[in-house]
Chain A
């Protein structure tokens, strides 16, 4: 009996780990995709898009399987609701990365070369903030007292992302030679990237509460 219970748990532990891998992977693929887009390498961009779509599907399947296990096997009753929310939140971040790449594909924004570095830097900070979230989540499951070692970094990366976003928007609207519609289009993309870091920070805030609830 004991062995089979432990096996079941080993299964769900692995799934949670794999799900976190997928979130992390989506950030890296998004970064690759945007860089390819900015370089004009549309073949590499298309490949990144295919990969990120697969990652999203795998992430969704894993999340559903974990949630099903949580309920059908009535696991962690005291934290089940919190863990469910956490998984949904992390999945939403994964979707954000996918959505961003899709928007690049659909809207094909014309990003002036002088903004390339800022866009890259902005996405780098957003990806880092999500990475810090992933590390915090892993710690939440494995070593709850280590969550604090990672969680504060999310805020740091979010602030950095805010700074770059503001600077980038100022630069966009400072250009007199661009049409307003073009400026607004670029602003929209800057905001989309920045929003990932904002949401990562919201997830970290909620995670903080879950940690307090579990350690009480």
Chain B
């Protein structure tokens, strides 16, 4: 069964390789500075390295699909995203794989009656505008500066050719590495907890753990996708939007990387804030959309006459279609898999205003008097519960989030197995001690575990204003929660 489930992840990896390799090598191949074959080889190798070496963050391995709570559901969601990206790849459009996955998850949310993450939707729509605009501005500026620099540096045509070629190759390699590291969790992350693999040692040199073996498989699927079907989208990016010179090709890749680094890097923001410096705001940017913006920016700075606006229109349409088509395919496929193949595509999550939940809502400053008549009543889905609440009182988006999180029923018990596994993890000894203290306790709601841990140790508490620490606490909480779930 594992092998069947894994196929959809590998298909998603293949589609991702066929589409997203264009973000890193599209302009280089389109301008013929690097042959497709060479680009595909380098891209494949470094995607695999990125996936295996940097993709294995302990608590972040589940990726976006971690939101889907049944493995058959994750299989369908991954398949829906893969089919969407595959279709748009066949048509030659660069699209965001993450946005296809988010769309497919929304299809699952609709099917399972779970809450739709409107924040994620908003991010997608924003990224359609923000990514290309930021990248276009930056690439236009960089192009002017670099063209000016080349003019005054008087570099020989062949030396310039060598420099640009090396630059494109290095940028492509770095891009491929981060493509593997950032996307592998979306491709196979969801299958890590059910993986039958065990650690293997390769000639005694190094060990590959079960997750890394899966990531290797996923990395190979991305590499194969690039090799077998990557050229089409690369040509759209490198030639289809506007004719580009090698310098322009390099500027496009560079500005794409800079936009992602400045506006999407949490690490960079933490560094700035940690040193008392003003940080760039984190905004939703997508690499697929930023590279198109970069190319347009250069086309515009050169007068705009060479830009094929019709192609840009088609690409924009493809961006909008990505999440919509993924939602539809996901929803319909889930219906079929659930009803025809009798597979459990979601685990129902119930909602109830328990005494503890009511107290927590009140502590957040939200009056609960109007909810009295639905107190202790169990609702089978989030959608139904939310409807019942909104019929009784008007709440802001933040307040709804508080109420939903407080009332979500998530019965868990800390078993000895979970405690043992936590002991062998990278948690601090203080965190482990606090977790051990929860042994045999049962919790009605997820947040009750968080609260119990926070009361047991300050290392489990969020600190106001310390974003980095809070993110770490959230990650660790998610980790122990999954440990408990896995050991049940």
Residues of chain A having any CB pair with chain B under 8 Å = 1-2, 5-6, 8-10, 12-13, 16, 74-79, 83, 140-145, 214, 216
Contacts and interface: CB of A to CB of B under 8 A. Distances in A.
B33 A5 contact: no
B35 A13 contact: no
A46 B392 CA distance: 111
Given A5-B166, A78-B31, 4 more contacts: A13-B156, A13-B158, A16-B158, A142-B154
B159 A74 contact: no
Interface in B308-342: none
Contacts of A16: 158
A76 B161 CA distance: 6
B309 to A, nearest CB: 19
A144 to B, nearest CB: 8
B156 A78 contact: no
B435 to A, nearest CB: 49
Contacts of B31: 77-78
Contacts of A143: 154
A142 B161 CA distance: 12
B216 to A, nearest CB: 26
Question: SS class of chain A's interface: helix, strand, loop or mixed?
Answer: helix
Given A77-B31, A77-B33, A141 B151 contact: no
A149 to B, nearest CB: 13
A6 B154 contact: no
A76 B166 contact: no
Contacts of A10: 159
Nearest to A75: B161
B103 interface: no
Contact of A6 (B32, B157, B162): B162
B32 A74 contact: yes
Cβ-closest 9 pairs across A and B: A77-B32, A9-B158, A9-B162, A143-B154, A5-B162, A141-B157, A76-B161, A13-B158, A2-B166
Nearest to A213: B245
A29 to B, nearest CB: 28
Contacts of A214: 245
Interface of B: 31-33, 35, 151, 154, 156-159, 161-162, 165-166, 245-246, 302
13 contacts: A2-B166, A5-B165, A9-B159, A13-B159, A75-B158, A75-B161, A77-B32, A78-B32, A79-B157, A141-B156, A144-B157, A214-B245, A216-B302
Nearest to A216: B302
A145 B149 CA distance: 13
Nearest to B306: A216
B153 to A, nearest CB: 10
A49 B159 CA distance: 37
A199 B401 CA distance: 79
Contacts of B35: 74
B158 A76 contact: yes
A6 B156 CA distance: 11
Contacts of A76: 157-158, 161
Contacts of B156: 9, 13, 141-142
Nearest to A145: B151
A84 to B, nearest CB: 13
Nearest to B151: A145
A34 to B, nearest CB: 35
B444 to A, nearest CB: 60
Contacts of A6: 159, 162
Nearest to A69: B158
B158 A12 contact: yes
A76 B247 CA distance: 11
Contacts of A1: 166
Contacts of B159: 6, 9-10, 13
Contacts of A8: 162
A214 B246 CA distance: 10
A75 B166 CA distance: 12
Contacts of B165: 5
A113 B33 CA distance: 58
Given A2-B166, A77-B31, A216-B302, A141 B158 contact: yes
A145 B162 CA distance: 20
